[in-house]
Amino acid sequence: MGTLADLRANVGASIFARVAGPEGPARRERILGTPGPRWFAEDRPIRRVHGDAAMFVGGLRALLLQSLHPLAMAGVVGHSGYRGDPWGRLQRTSTFLATTTFGTAQDAQAAVDQVLGIHGRVRGTAPDGRPYSADDPHLLQWVHVAEIDSFLRAHQRFGARALNADEADAYVADAAHIARSLGVPAPPLTVAELSACLDSYRAELAGTAEARAAARYLVFTPPLPVLVRAPYAVLAANAVALL
């Protein structure tokens, strides 16, 4: 019988394979192995957080939290493959995070430029009649702070080595560099600023029918192979507990 560590490693490998896709290992080697300057040095907190398996929990929590903003959710429903191609969407998000965190500066900027090009085409009208646009700085900031708060909370609770207070602030500041490149004018630079920014959106959030449907899909009925369902259920429960 394998050890608990072996079991965790096997589960992590299974989930990585599902999220990263068949090209995942080769893509990871290419991102890490390509020579050149990086946006973030090896000792930066963002590398510790984004390289930890707790990101699986943080990523799921981020999706659940982001869905509570009606305009952000309208963009997902209208333009994302979260139902038709959920793993494709996760693969693209995972690749973006890996490239901007660990890749060369040139590759990181190329990844940002690709996202900016996509954002320019995502616009429409929400069910409540309000217009939305993926390049709206206010919505971009919501998506950013929901992600970073989720990644940080998951890391502090489940990560291999939690950040101290100074490192946590440095992580938020590191992530702000990526946010600015995507069009967020003044992203939070400390944990306190991150918390205050999240609170400022509270009045805009709502548990809409679309948000509830997304939560049911993400937590209870994701398209998963039988062998991955049990470990995914644990991740989902932990993500919900962090909300």
R_g over Cα of the chain: 17
CA angle (102, 108, 112) in 5-degree steps: 135
Residue 48 backbone phi and psi in degrees, to 5: -65, -45
Check: pTM over 0.95? Answer yes or no: no
pLDDT tops 70 at residue 189: yes
CA distance 176 to 13: 30
Domain ranges across the chain: 4-241
DSSP strands (E only) in 38-178: 123-125, 131-133
Using DSSP, state whether 208 is helix, strand or coil: coil
Query: In this structure, are residues 111 and 41 in contact, taking their beta carbons and an 8 Å threshold?
Result: no
Q: Which residue has the higher pLDDT, 205 or 226?
A: 205
- pLDDT score for 16: 61
Considering only residues 164 and 2, tell me which one the structure prediction assigns the higher pLDDT: 164
Average pLDDT of the residues in 29-51: 97
Confidence of residue 5 (pLDDT cuts 50, 70, 90): very low
Q: How far apart are CA 88 and CA 82, in angstroms?
A: 8
Would you state the pLDDT for residue 84?
Answer: 55
Q: How far apart are the C-alpha atoms of 122 and 7, rounded to whole Å?
A: 41
Model pLDDT for residues 81-112, shown as the tens digit of each residue:
566 555 666 778 889 999 999 999 999 999 99
Higher pLDDT, 198 or 234: 198
Task: Pick the more confident residue, 5 or 20.
Answer: 20
The chain-wide mean pLDDT, for the chain, equals: 89
CA 30 to chain centre: 21
CA-wise closest residue to 242 among 168, 152, 170, 126: 152
Burial label, 111 (beta-carbon count in 10 A; 0-12, 13-18, 19+): buried
Q: Average pLDDT, stretch 23-32?
A: 85
Looking at the predicted structure, is the pLDDT value of residue 1 above 50? no
pLDDT value of position 119: 92
How many CB atoms are located within 10 Å of the residue 118 CB?
12
| 145 confidence band (pLDDT: 50, 70, 90) | very high
Q: Which two tokens stand for residue 172?
A: 């938020």
Asked if residues 100 and 46 have their Cβ atoms less than 8 Å apart, the reply is no
Say how far apart CA 126 and CA 71 lie, in whole Å. 6
**What is the token pair recorded at 66?**
């982001």
